[in-house]
Amino acid sequence: MPELTQLGAPAPEPGAAQPAKQIHVTPKAAQKIREAFAREGVAGGLRLGVLGGGCSGLSYQFKFAPEARPRDHVFEFGDVKVFVDPKSMLFLDGMTLDWHDSLMQSGFVFQNPHATKSCGCGTSFSA
């Protein structure tokens, strides 16, 4: 009988391929990233990360990065590249980055399956 993991799923067989890590960026968010790069006159990719802090315990970080680091996960959405370091990937795997416009505010929205609680501003979470 296969050994069970904490989540109750069978443990992968030794040497079995692990499912690929994923980050999703909607077309609208990719367009806003593209516009920001053009406005700032920078090239490279968007670095997504997670930092300790914020009102819910962890905060999203994103900034321009000229190139990926050697251990980064690199995701491409047309001409938009997203870089995620291995530690942040633990919290961001399966996340969707979107852009929402409303009468009150416009900005990036993180739809993160690992977030158990989020703050009102949407930039911090707990997992």
pLDDT digits (tens, 9 = 90+) for 38-92: 999 999 999 999 987 655 578 888 899 999 999 999 999 999 999 999 999 998 9
Range of lowest pLDDT (13-17, 25-29, 53-57):
13-17
**Domain total of the chain:** 1
54 falls within a domain: yes
What are 94's two structure tokens? Answer: 């399966």
| 101 Cβ contact list (under 8 Å, min separation 6) | none
Domain of residue 115, CATH code: 2.60.300.12
Domain residues for the domain of 44 are: 23-126
108 falls within a domain: yes
3 falls within a domain: no
71 falls within a domain: yes
1 falls within a domain: no
105 falls within a domain: yes
Query: String of b and e for 82-119 (b: at least 16 CB within 10 Å)?
Result: bbbbeebbebbbebebbbeeeeeeeebebebeebeebe
| pTM reported for the whole predicted model | 0.75
- The predicted model gives 28-33 an average pLDDT of 96
58 falls within a domain: yes
16 falls within a domain: no
Confidence of residue 20 (pLDDT cuts 50, 70, 90): confident
| Cα atoms in the Cβ-side hemisphere of radius 13 Å centred on 34 | 12
